[in-house]
Amino acid sequence: MTTLCPEYARAWLRRWDAQQERYVAERERRFEVVGDVLRHALADRPRPLVLDLGCGPGSLAVRLARRLPDARVIGVDTDPLLLALGRSAYPEVARFAEADLRRPGWTARLGLEEAADAVVSATALHYLPVADLAAVYAELAGLIRPGGLFVNADNLCDEQPAIAALAAAVRGERVGDGEDWASWWRAAGQDPVLAPLVAAREAGGTVEGDHRVSVAVHAALLRQAGFAQVGTVWQTGDDVVLAAVRQAP
């Protein structure tokens, strides 16, 4: 497990956050909304267990840990570079676990001794095709306690092409114009400290792209997996926070 200088890691994460704002118009507001949802839903849980799927370097995980100081937060990802940055920058905030959501039984790698109260994800699940997404949601049905919550914050398209184009345009008017994704990764690969982690990432097979799974399909898959109620709790353009409540016994 690679450990980096905390300040060095935090400097790279500041650059990561700026790069992400090129694609997510209201990223901090989106994080705040997820925090709002969890604070309300977990108000009666003294030490809630919260998992962040596809956590990357922990951008959402660290914000939730600060918003919900009594929560136990676990970030889950498969990217060696992003996990190293998160572990090094935020060792006191969250635990980071390596698991590939595309592999059946990935939940066993988390070492959990109890069901999760909530599972969240931000700007991550669009990488999964429908079949993999359905499998992830089926795994979540056995991971979240009855009455628990799943929250997905991502750019999710509408099934109507004209509406999808309008929503994307709304986001496009608001995003930044700083460093892009490819430039960030290229710079990381040229950094002598991070280069070995970038090489490990590439050797493991990177997960990129957008399968453009609609809100309606996400909702249908979640209901099939056993989530009783599913709906959008916040939206700006195609930037959506989707919440689902696990079926109670």
pLDDT tens for each residue of 125-139: 999 999 999 999 999
Domain that holds residue 123: 6-246
Asked if residue 205 is part of any domain, the answer here is yes
Asked if residue 237 is part of any domain, the answer here is yes
- Provide the pLDDT for residue 205: 72
- Provide the pLDDT for residue 52: 98
Asked if residue 238 is part of any domain, the answer here is yes
Instruction: Specify the number of domains making up the chain.
Output: 1
- Provide the pLDDT for residue 137: 96
- Provide the pLDDT for residue 12: 97
Q: Which residues of the chain have pLDDT under 70?
A: 206-208, 249
Q: Do residues 91 and 84 make contact, with C-beta atoms less than 8 angstroms apart?
A: no
Q: For the domain that residue 201 is a member of, what is the CATH number?
A: 3.40.50.150
Between CA 93 and CA 87 the distance in angstroms is: 9
pTM of the entire structure? 0.94
Asked if residue 1 is part of any domain, the answer here is no
Between CA 129 and CA 220 the distance in angstroms is: 14
